[in-house]
Structure 1
Amino acid sequence: MMRSWRVIPALVLTVPVLVATPAVADRPDLRVSVVQDGLSHPWDLAFLPDGRMLVTERDSRRLSLATPGGPRRTVLTAPRHMWAAGETGLMSVEVAADFARSRGIITCHGYRRGGVQDVRVVRWRLSSAGTSASYVRTLVSGLPSTSGRHGGCALAKGPRNQLYIGTGDAATGRNPQRLTSGGGKVLRVDATTGRPVASNPFIRSSNRMKQRVFTYGHRNVQGLARRSDGTMWSVEQGSYRDDEVNRLAKKANYGWNPVPRKATDPAYNEGAGSPMTDHRLPGAQRGARWRSGSSTVAASAGAFVTGRSWGDWRGALAVSALKDTSLRLLRFSKGGSLRGTWKPAALDGRYGRLRGAVAGPDGALYVTTSNGTNDKILRVTAGG
């Protein structure tokens, strides 16, 4: 007996298909207010335990103490031999971990005296009245300096009185890969003495600067930020492209090597032949966790935002940009993989060039502008 067959239409399922794509994070409303104005190229902020903030101004070499939304007082102005030119001047500021006992604060700035010109990290003591700062000691000197280009210096506290120092390569091609140079590095030292941390990767070297090296192969480290899991991250300016955010790992090489490839190349070769991460170098190079892409935005600082009001973006890295006149928030997984980006309209071109980005003790993000006249400190809060 022959059986007959008939075609049955395919059953259409109404169950939605799940696609493995990252979830879109809800974006809170941002409110921006001006808490200080009348500044000139403010470079960095740091908060004292009582909520007041220290502010550096690069070119005027001025350090001020201010209350957000309140009065501002100069505590240090152009001390002897502090030097400013180009991208170098009075740059980063950090509050010592033992401030309650020592009144210690730390700055990074250009220095020139006679035939000596460098970038150095110095510890000061803030007076009990908060009216002046007095010199205590130089923690690190001899960081390379030339015309002032790529003299940037970022400071961040680590655990157990550690201090991380991010440096520029001084526009000198060999510095980033030369371990005896402090240029193009992230250094790790004791915040009281400046001595290298005992667990640094090159601690057994006979060279003092090499003993301080934590990571190398950087171009121009503009910002350092410590995540809640203890990892340290850097914000680094690219050449004509590829600003970077890097997750730092001890002894890692981040691959910047702007040296001549042939006789006709310039001595500082930062063109297409020198990628930000050069995988042709010996050994392994660490790639960035975020890149700006085909055009630099001049990323200038970074801070991990805190506070429940940030919602899904709590714990994201806020990155300010000079050339792009904007702020970006970058969400990373626990393992450090990029999960999302957001460029808030509230800070996109409205205030000009953005330099500093610091998380305040109140859960707000504080951002400085760098337009040269009537620069401001902005307080950014999330909600809604």
Structure 2
Amino acid sequence: MKARSIAFIVASALTVLTLTAVSSPSQAAPPPLDVEELEVGLSIPWDITFLPDGSMLYTQRDLKTVTLRQSNGTKTVVLNSPAGMWNSGETGLMGIEADTSDSSGLTFFTCHGYKSGSTQDVRVVRWRLNAERTSATLDRTLFGGLPSTSGRHGGCSLVKGGSYALYVGTGDAATGKNPQSRTSGGGKVLRVDTRTGAGYAGNPFISSSVAMKRRVWTYGHRNVQGLARHSSSRIWSVEHGSYRDDEVNSLKKGGNYGWNPVPRKSGDPSYNEGSNSPMTDYNISGDQRGAAWRSGDPTVATSGATFLYGSMWGSYSGRLAVTALKDQSLRFMSVSSTYGIGTVTMPPELDGDFGRLRGAVQGPDGALYLTTSNGAGVDKILRVTPSS
């Protein structure tokens, strides 16, 4: 679907955006929300994951730390600026995901910038906690070689798939040819084997002679900031637009999502974010897939995403929760049986009161956990639940 009509309805201080969709989703308002400031005084907490015992792990991008928070509130920094980990601009210690395929419950993955000697890239690493859960050590570098330049458009989001699959959303490193080059890891969603870092069996280009191409699940992305797994196992991505059209995408194996930021002049490799570089460029040869939802002009800087499930969410069980940095808001998006986006609602409790919202994860207790991204020393982790 290349175009969508948007109507604005304002009721009881709640903004409801109704987008043309295949189905006719419910127009019910979200439940009133309680927002608890679970952690304060943080510096760009980028992402959250939960271990099998319910403990929380969270990253701080520029500090390059991973902190373990137990359910009683006790905190331990288990990873602190390890050798080679690098941050600059938008890149640092970003995505984190528990390794649910490991029965020990002690391993997790991160996606982060790396620099050592002449090597600079973004890479995915598996770490192992000690038995006391007081520190983590490098278990394995799953793979490196994701493009990195100034630190702009570093990505980098992680979400566990079924069995040994791990999905990795990447940025294009502000390099024009990366998103459409299937041998580059930039501007992609990759699917890799958690045991080896190799391309996962059944990937669309698994027979390629190029290792990075074997990892590609989808391509033609700009800067993937969030990944979420639907109950159907379909993966969804959230990415930043240029000056327009942040996107929420329903990912289809081998799909090209149309970002091609190079000038039309043959041989010009420069990065082109102007008006002739739409987020989905239908003039590229082949079949491009349009976004399930887009922000229009201007962008709102959508970032993290998670699906919400459970009776505590009532009619909002099954909705996609999407954070936004620039307009400092949360959106609940309904998803149709054909993977379209229907009604989008913005709860007033999270519409500007906490500043820029980045990470979004549903915890094992059913609550929605969010991170803010306002700057050094002022950020928070929020626990969000429907009011009882």
TM-score range, shorter chain: over 0.9
User: Residue deviations 1:172-213, cap 9 Å, x none?
Assistant: 000000011000001111112111112011111110000110
Q: Which residue of 2 aligns with 1:249?
A: 252
- The amino acid of 1:41's aligned partner reads I
Residue 275 of structure 1 is matched in structure 2 by 278
Q: Which of 366, 371, 383 does residue 379 from structure 1 map onto?
A: 383
Structure 1 match to 2:295: 292
TM-score (norm 2): 0.91
d(CA) in 1 for partners of 2:201, 2:267: 43
Question: Matches of residues 317-328 of structure 1 in structure 2 within 5 Å?
Answer: 317-328=320-331
**Cα deviation, residue 27, structure 1:** 2.1
| Helix, strand or coil at the partner of 2:313 | helix
Unmatched tracts of structure 1, length 5 or more: 1-19
Report the Cα offset of residue 22 of structure 1: 4.5
- Given that 2:101 and 2:163 are in contact with CA atoms closer than 8 Å, whether structure 1 keeps it comes out as no
TM-score (norm 1): 0.92
Once the 2 structures are TM-superposed, how far is the Cα of residue 47 of structure 1 from its aligned partner?
0.3
**1:261 maps onto 2:264 in alignment:** yes
Is the CA contact (8 Å cut-off) linking 1:259 and 1:268 kept in structure 2? yes
Q: Give the match for residue 6 of structure 1.
A: none
1:156 to 148, 154, 159: 159
User: 1: CA distance between counterparts of 2:234 and 2:189?
Assistant: 13
| CA drift at 1:135 | 0.5
Greater radius of gyration (CA) = 1
What is the CA-CA distance between 1:133 and the residue it aligns to?
0.3
Which secondary structure does the structure 1 equivalent of 2:179 belong to? helix
CA offset digits 1:247-284 (Å, max 9, x no partner): 01110000000001248988110111100000001111
Distance apart, 1:231 and its partner CA:
0.5
Aligned length: 365
Match of 2:3?
none
Question: Which range moved further: 30-39 or 163-172?
Answer: 30-39
For 1:1-384, list aligned pairs within 5 A.
Answer: 22-67=25-70, 70-101=73-104, 103-262=106-265, 267-372=270-375, 373-383=377-387
> Take 1:365 and 1:354, find their aligned partners in 2: how far apart are those partners?
13
Q: Distance in 1 between matches of 2:24 and 2:228?
A: 28
Conserved 8 A contact 1:241-1:295? yes
3-state secondary structure, aligned to 1:101: coil
- The percent of aligned pairs where both chains have the same amino acid is 59
Structure 2 spans left out of the alignment, 5+ residues: 1-22
Displacement of 1:102:
6.1
CA 1:28–1:232: 2 relative to 1, 3 Å: same
The C-alpha deviation readout for 1:290-346, integer Å capped at 9, x for no partner, is 111111111111000122121111110000011111111100112112220111100
In structure 1, give the amino acid aligned to 2:259: W
Q: Deviations over 1:130-169 (max 9, x none)?
A: 1000111110100000000000111010011100000000
- Over 3 Å counting, the alpha-carbon distance change for 1:102 and 1:338 in structure 2 is closer
Instruction: Report if the CA contact (8 A) 1:203-1:212 is conserved.
Output: yes
SS in 2 for 1:356: strand
Is the Cα contact below 8 Å between 1:43 and 1:57 reproduced in 2? yes
**1:226 offset after TM fit, Å?**
0.2
SS of equivalent to 2:349: helix
Name the structure 2 match of 1:4. none
Q: Deviation per CA, 1:36-94, whole angstroms, max 9, x where unpaired?
A: 11110000000011111001000000110013571211001100010000000000001
Q: 1 CA distance for matches of 2:268 and 2:72? A: 51
- 2:199 match: secondary structure: coil
User: Quick one: structure 1 residues 95 and 267, their matched pair in 2 at CA, closer, same or farther if it must change by over 3 Å?
Assistant: same
| Distance verdict in 2 for CA 1:359–1:86, change over 3 Å | same
Q: 1:79 to 1:333 in 2, by over 3 A?
A: same
Quote the RMSD (CA, aligned, Å): 1.6
- Secondary structure of the 1:211 match is helix
